[in-house]
């Protein structure tokens, strides 16, 4: 059996092309790891029954040298909110428990064209609403580094799937932290792409002005491959950015890094802060200039996010009515059917956000909350624009704490605070990468910590460049 835990996408690709092993060998190694480890982790909601068939098809392509890409034969896990035609996609919700996707998400189509092998659909917070996967209707995902702790959320399943070597890469969606936070909790690299860089077509909608599908992997180089394969203009997503937006930026000789120290005074774990400071020193020693920056309105970002996001969620989730797809519960009338269906179909956090969103959008409160939040959102955007006149990237920790214990954050507000450093990239559309930056010890266990690098719109290339140098990867 091949040692898949020692492989990343680049090495696996070389092995496949050189004939050291086959895509079927890789797929079998993944399935074996799921059988051995996933009963303790709960990363998968379903392992597809055609994994070997997909791998055989990839092997045939490799043998015939037929359109081989770096992802041909590579095992990939999908978050359970990305449509894969003919397969169940439930968003980890009772309301979609038996829903079968009627079409492929653009990301899935691109991965199929590239010859990737889908291992299965993975667990998440219901509809992406959470930072720990404790809100899944199908049980929490446990952290492979300490099973008493969460894997992070909402894409906890995709992160844990790669961490237990049951896939070499995975795709989640990131509305406020949902790719970066679980990546940091599970010792992986995770990317929230520029808004509009990756098509949202076929992603079950939650916060439409915020969310992007984003990849996770073991190395920055792998995440770059996954991003390059899935990004690009798509006429099926009206906010998709035309290719010419990726204009040729001049490559700068010396990149300058900005650090908003003023934003890291409160609510951050001491060891995480120490780890962050070490990361900054490391980047200095690699030759980067580090500058102090001020983002005057950044302190309001979590508040803005927790107004805009539920507002959008309440509108998006209105589509679940028990009429066109998903769960149906009978009431006394058409309208009673809606009430009954949504009552039994949605979990508590989903109901909480729908009701909150309905409140901030309702007559009398709309200006005070929703409109004001959009005004402050624009102020935060201009803070970042101003900062990026002087620096090329901005650094923060990905999360203020390492992975927390299951059940530790019972009060919703304390859970929301996990997103304190990540929501800015969603509010402004900017790309952000989380890279592993070491670990802290809790209860005798080493827990991974992540460093977040934020770049201006469409400058994923700078993130990859700095991320690789920070991680000591060769290009």
Q: Where along the sequence are the contacts to another protein (CB under 8 A)?
A: 99-100, 102, 235, 238-239, 297, 300, 303-304, 306-307, 314, 318, 321-328, 333-335, 337-340, 342-343, 346, 348, 351-352, 354-359, 362, 367-369, 371-379, 411-413, 416
User: What is the strand order of the sheet 393-397 is part of?
Assistant: 44-47, 117-122, 75-79, 169-174, 212-217, 189-192, 432-442, 445-454, 393-397, 256-259, 289-292
Cβ distance to another protein smaller for residue 246 or 325? 325
Please report how close the Cβ of residue 18 comes to another protein at its closest, in angstroms. Answer: 41
Q: Is 314 a catalytic residue?
A: no
The residues facing 198 across adjacent strands are 231
Please report how close the Cβ of residue 305 comes to another protein at its closest, in angstroms. Answer: 9
> Torsion angle of alpha carbons 22, 24, 29, 34, nearest 10°?
150
Please report how close the Cβ of residue 103 comes to another protein at its closest, in angstroms. Answer: 8
The pair of three-digit structure tokens given for residue 90, joined into one six-digit string = 């439930």
Cβ distance to another protein smaller for residue 63 or 299? 299
User: Phi first, then psi: what are they for 437, rounded to 5°?
Assistant: -125, 25
Cβ distance to another protein smaller for residue 110 or 353? 353
Which among 22, 90, 136, 154 is annotated as catalytic?
154
Please report how close the Cβ of residue 323 comes to another protein at its closest, in angstroms. Answer: 6
Q: How far apart are CA 393 and CA 420, in angstroms?
A: 18
Which among 131, 166, 178, 418 is annotated as catalytic?
178
Q: Is 154 a catalytic residue?
A: yes
Long-range contacts of 62-67 (CB under 8 A, 24+ apart): 62/16, 62/17, 62/22, 62/23, 67/115
Give Cα 240 to chain centroid, integer Å: 18
Cβ distance to another protein smaller for residue 95 or 150? 95
The residues facing 291 across adjacent strands are 258
Please report how close the Cβ of residue 196 comes to another protein at its closest, in angstroms. Answer: 11
Cβ distance to another protein smaller for residue 126 or 321? 321
Identify whether the C-beta of residue 156 lies closer than 8 Å to the C-beta of residue 80.
no
Q: Is 252 a catalytic residue?
A: no
Please report how close the Cβ of residue 237 comes to another protein at its closest, in angstroms. Answer: 9
HEC profile of 63-83: HCCCCCCCCCCCEEEEECCEC
Which among 10, 28, 79, 110 is annotated as catalytic?
79
Cβ distance to another protein smaller for residue 59 or 80? 80
- CA-nearest of 86, 88, 99 to 328 is 99
Please give the positions annotated as active site: 79, 154, 178
């Amino acid at each position: 059996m091949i040692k898949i835990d020692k492989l990343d996408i680049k090495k696996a690709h070389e092995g496949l092309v050189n004939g050291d092993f086959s895509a079927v060998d890789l797929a079998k190694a993944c399935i074996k790891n799921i059988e051995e480890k996933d009963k303790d982790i709960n990363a998968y909601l379903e392992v597809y029954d055609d994994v070997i068939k997909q791998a055989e098809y990839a092997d045939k392509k490799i043998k015939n040298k037929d359109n081989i890409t770096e992802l041909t034969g590579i095992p990939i896990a999908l978050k359970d909110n990305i449509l894969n035609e003919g397969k169940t996609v439930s968003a980890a919700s009772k309301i979609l428990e038996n829903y079968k996707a009627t079409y492929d998400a653009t990301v899935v189509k691109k991965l199929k064209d590239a010859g990737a092998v889908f291992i299965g659909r993975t667990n998440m917070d219901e509809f992406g609403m959470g930072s720990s996967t404790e809100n899944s209707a199908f049980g929490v995902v446990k952290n492979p580094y300490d099973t008493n702790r969460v894997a992070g959320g909402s894409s906890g399943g995709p992160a844990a799937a790669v961490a237990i070597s049951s896939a070499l890469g995975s795709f989640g969606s990131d509305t406020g932290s949902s790719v970066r936070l679980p990546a940091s909790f599970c010792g992986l690299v995770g990317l929230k792409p520029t808004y509009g860089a990756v098509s949202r077509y076929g992603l079950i909608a939650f916060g439409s002005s915020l969310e992007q599908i984003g990849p996770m992997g073991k190395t920055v180089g792998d995440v770059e491959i996954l991003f390059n394969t899935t990004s690009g203009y798509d006429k099926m997503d009206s906010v998709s950015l035309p290719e010419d937006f990726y204009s040729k930026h001049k490559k700068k000789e010396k990149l300058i890094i900005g650090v908003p120290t003023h934003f890291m005074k409160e609510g951050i774990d001491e060891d995480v802060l120490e780890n962050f400071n070490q990361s900054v020193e490391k980047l200095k020693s690699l030759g980067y200039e580090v500058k102090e920056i001020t983002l005057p309105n950044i302190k309001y970002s979590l508040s803005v996010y927790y107004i805009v996001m539920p507002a959008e969620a309440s509108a998006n989730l209105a589509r679940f009515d028990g009429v066109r797809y998903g769960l149906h519960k009978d009431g006394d009338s058409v309208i009673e059917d809606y009430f009954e269906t949504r009552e039994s179909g949605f979990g508590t956090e989903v109901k909480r956000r729908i009701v909150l969103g309905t409140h901030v959008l309702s007559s009398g409160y709309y200006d005070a909350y929703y409109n004001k939040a959009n005004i402050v959102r624009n102020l935060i955007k201009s803070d970042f624009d101003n900062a990026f006149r002087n620096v090329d990237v901005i650094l923060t920790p990905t999360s203020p704490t390492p992975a927390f214990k299951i059940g530790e954050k019972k009060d919703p507000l304390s859970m929301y605070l996990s997103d304190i450093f990540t929501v800015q990239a969603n509010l402004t559309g900017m790309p952000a990468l989380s890279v592993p930056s070491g670990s802290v010890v809790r209860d005798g266990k080493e827990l991974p910590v992540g460093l977040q690098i934020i770049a201006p719109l469409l400058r994923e290339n700078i993130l990859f460049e700095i991320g690789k140098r920070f991680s000591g990867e060769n290009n």
